[in-house]
Chains A and B, each alone.
Chain A
Amino acid sequence: MRSVSWWTEWPDGPIRTGVVFLVATVVVAVAIVYPQVLRELGRDATENSAQSYADREIAGGNGIVVDQAAVYAARALIPEDARYHVTVGDDYVGSTLTRDHVASYFRYFLMPRRPAETAGWVVCYGCDRSEYGDRADVLWTDGGELSIVKVER
């Protein structure tokens, strides 16, 4: 057992007290948070494990692509060596998140397929398909605003 002077006598005493105080603070902070972090990680693990394959694979795109089927259909329909273009129509009524980032997400998901402005494959979010005329062949649609179109160039 240390004497009181060991903790108080200048100059080493206050330094020892300061060090022990700080380490004790850290120990208390860790002791409070540690079980909570462990519980949260367990909960995260359970949630991640319970996800469907598609939810997990699309992950960050779930709030962007509107319909998971659209990205899977694009991956199945567009050949790996083909080029594609994601276009969002001016009148598209979906979220800003979709409008701003859907092309970027498709680029990530569809690699090694390359994006190109004049590509023959078009992933269409509320675009005007009539502008492609007879050259367009709709190969997939969600029944609404989303479609995958093959255009003869």
Chain B
Amino acid sequence: MSIQAVGAVAALNALYLAVGASLLWVVRSAGTWIDVVRLLGLAYVVGLVLTGLAWSFLLIAGVPFSLAVVLGVPILVTAGLLALGRARRRSLPTGARVDGGSSLVVTAVGVAAAGVLLEALLRSARLSGLYWFDGWSFWIPKAKAIYFFGGLDEQFFTELPGASYPILVPALDAAVFHVVGSADVLALHFQYWLFALGFVWALAGLLSERVPAWILWPCVLLLLVAPRIGRRFQVTEADLFLDYLFVLAAVLVAFWIVDGGRWRLLVAALLLCAIVNTKREGLLLATVLLAAALIATSRRWRARWPAIGIVALVAVAAAVPWRLWYVSRDVEGESGSQGLIRGDGRDLLWPSVRRSLDVLWDPGYWNLIVPVFIGALAVAALARVGRLAVFSGALVAFVVAGGVWATWNFSQTGAGFVLGGNFVIRFMGAAALLCAATAPLLLSAAWPTTRSEPRAGASRRVGLAAVIATLPLLAYPAITIAADGLPRFPTRDDCSRPARAGAPDVEVVYGRFDDPRSADQLLARLTAVGFVGAESAFDPCGRWKVSYDSVASFEQARELAEQVRTAGFEATVEYRS
């Protein structure tokens, strides 16, 4: 991944942000500039899924997926939304008043702590290879197929494992390949880190509307340090991405249940459309989310259920095109060959329940997220929080039940293990992330007083908060650069290290080749004119190196290199590798 690739991916993501910010401007009142910053993460995620869905539908319709489409779709969508906003006489945001006080200082500490962790995650992820089985087995091959063949290539999209999985994530990955200019898999780690950043920002921004900082930020940090969440941000698979969308949709629906804000349901509907186009589990997650919403609004069903019904219809409509595509090509359905209910295996039901609950409870995966959620649910029940507690509790219970069902139905042992991975752990990620997102919501709803008036002296704390938030964010990269030097952008030329005069352990390199035959040919030509003793060997950069390493000193190597060059070949003196 080059520095240019980083810039290209950043620019692409800026387009997502533009789409989402435009959409939020159209669907909700402008508010203040502080609101805009608070909802910047949500805007990014919304823009991402709206653009990704548009690309997915174009791909299904057979439109060639080119760089022009990659750039044109978000630009046109943004322009259309801005025109719509003007037509609806939307005004620009006004004012930027920040409520000072201790809450702002806590927010600053939370932003700094979360920010440093995210920086460390980026540093770790940037030069990681692609290790994840499903990633190289089918997610990335699908993206490569879209990139190389300009669409849903019949062979790859019907023969790859997980052929029935929807194409939203491969389309987003393929867009990265287009802007980078090659199928640079390493660039995806940066993209997936941006997904994570957008999600964390979106979640914190949404929750901060109702959750005081002293409850919110510890929970956000708990989410980030959970081994199966934060440490997997760079994994180039769709599991965590699906969970992001599901959790954000759940929070938006929870808020809608409480305050009836129509824009929240609209955005949640868009996220649900993306959920059903991300993974097959998305269908299940979307269903349980809407079922929990029905339960939580049952006392006001006349007013709320029609809206939920419309959202369900929209999500179903969004799910249909991809299903038509793969069914028309005889791809095995998303329920697998065994169907939705297995006829045998009653004896596996209890092991499935135990396995699912064990996974969800395991602090080795989720730290204390689940115990804290259960505690929050109990406190919320004690405080008679009502609809929020019903919705959160029902939704988590439904997701767990879904995990039990999937474990029972799809695994051979009831333990949730299948070839190539352990799906019950991945599926329970949705429940754990949901617990992390709803626990602070429940705690703040239970807390008897959550709002306090800004006190005198608050304005000074704005400056203090700014310093607290930004100093660690600047200090962490500065410290790592001081310790390890500037970030490296490795290339295949890294193996070529010209030696300085007088250097020990040198060799004379006659050439490096992608094709082993070219290396053998050079070796033969060198031998034919008398330069014997050289050899061709595979180097750590994936090339065949033709070199001679039986030289006693730098001077001897330099003399040999000059003789070889005089004979019409290339030769450099390099450090021996």
Contacts and interface: CB of A to CB of B under 8 A. Distances in A.
Interface of A: 11-12, 14-16, 18-19, 21-23, 25-27, 29-30, 33-34, 37-38, 40-42, 44-46, 48-49, 51-61, 68-69, 72-73, 75-77, 101, 104-105, 107-108, 111-112, 114, 139-140
A15 B380 CA distance: 8
Contacts of B379: 15, 18-19, 22
Given A29-B367, A51-B127, A104-B137, A22 B443 contact: yes
Contact of B516 (A41, A101, A140): A140
Chain B contact residues: helix, strand, loop or mixed? helix
A101 B160 CA distance: 13
B117 A15 contact: no
Contact of B218 (A15, A27, A114): A27
A54 B443 contact: no
Nearest to B144: A111
Contact of B368 (A25, A45, A57, A72): A25
A74 B376 CA distance: 56
A20 to B, nearest CB: 9
A26 B363 CA distance: 13
Contacts of A51: 127, 129
B447 interface: yes
Given A15-B448, A26-B218, A52 B443 contact: no
B515 interface: yes
Contacts of B514: 72, 75-76
Contacts of B446: 15, 18-19
Nearest to B479: A42
A7 B409 CA distance: 48
Interface in B266-313: none
A48 B137 contact: no
A25 B372 CA distance: 8
Given A19-B215, A22-B379, A30 B129 contact: no
Interface residues of B, number: 73
A60 B148 contact: no
A80 B31 CA distance: 54
B133 interface: yes
A101 B137 CA distance: 9
Contacts of B160: 107
Contacts of B542: 53-54, 57, 68, 72
Given A53-B494, A54-B539, A112-B144, 11 more contacts: A19-B443, A23-B218, A26-B222, A30-B221, A42-B124, A42-B480, A45-B480, A56-B127, A108-B144, A111-B145, A111-B183
29 contacts: A15-B446, A15-B448, A21-B375, A23-B214, A25-B372, A25-B375, A26-B368, A30-B222, A34-B221, A37-B117, A37-B230, A37-B231, A38-B120, A41-B117, A41-B121, A44-B124, A48-B126, A48-B129, A52-B495, A53-B541, A57-B185, A59-B131, A68-B538, A72-B542, A76-B515, A107-B160, A112-B145, A114-B155, A139-B517
A119 to B, nearest CB: 12
Contacts of B149: 112
B439 to A, nearest CB: 8
Nearest to B216: A23
Contacts, number: 176
Given A34-B221, A60-B136, A14 B148 contact: no
B241 to A, nearest CB: 19
A46 B484 contact: yes
Interface string B463-481: 0000000000000000010
B123 A16 contact: no
B516 A60 contact: no
B219 A34 contact: no
Contact of A54 (B161, B447, B541): B541
B378 interface: yes
A27 B141 CA distance: 42
Interface string B350-372: 00000000000000000110001
B540 A26 contact: no
Nearest to B127: A48
Nearest to A73: B516
A60 B120 contact: no
Interface string B221-246: 11001000011000000000000000
Contact of B383 (A11, A23, A29, A140): A11
A94 to B, nearest CB: 18
B290 to A, nearest CB: 29
Q: Which 4 A-B pairs have the closest CB atoms?
A: A59-B129, A52-B540, A112-B148, A41-B120
B540 A54 contact: yes
B540 A55 contact: yes
Contacts of A22: 372, 375-376, 379, 439, 443
B132 interface: yes
Interface in B428-477: 439, 443, 446-448
A21 B256 CA distance: 29
Contacts of B129: 48, 51, 55-60
B492 interface: yes
A54 B514 CA distance: 12
A79 B530 CA distance: 34
Contacts of B219: 26
Nearest to B214: A23
B81 interface: no
B140 interface: yes
Nearest to B539: A54
A41 B448 contact: no
A73 B488 CA distance: 27
Contacts of B372: 22, 25-26
A40 B156 CA distance: 38
A55 B490 CA distance: 12
B286 to A, nearest CB: 29
B538 A30 contact: no
Interface string B487-522: 010111011000000000000000001111100000
Given A69-B538, A72-B538, A29 B368 contact: yes
A58 B128 CA distance: 11
Contacts of A25: 368, 372, 375
B272 to A, nearest CB: 29
Given A45-B124, A112-B144, A33 B367 contact: yes
Contacts of A54: 539-542
Given A14-B382, A15-B382, A37-B230, A60 B540 contact: no
Contact of A34 (B117, B368, B480): B117
Contacts of A23: 214-215, 218, 443
B127 A45 contact: yes
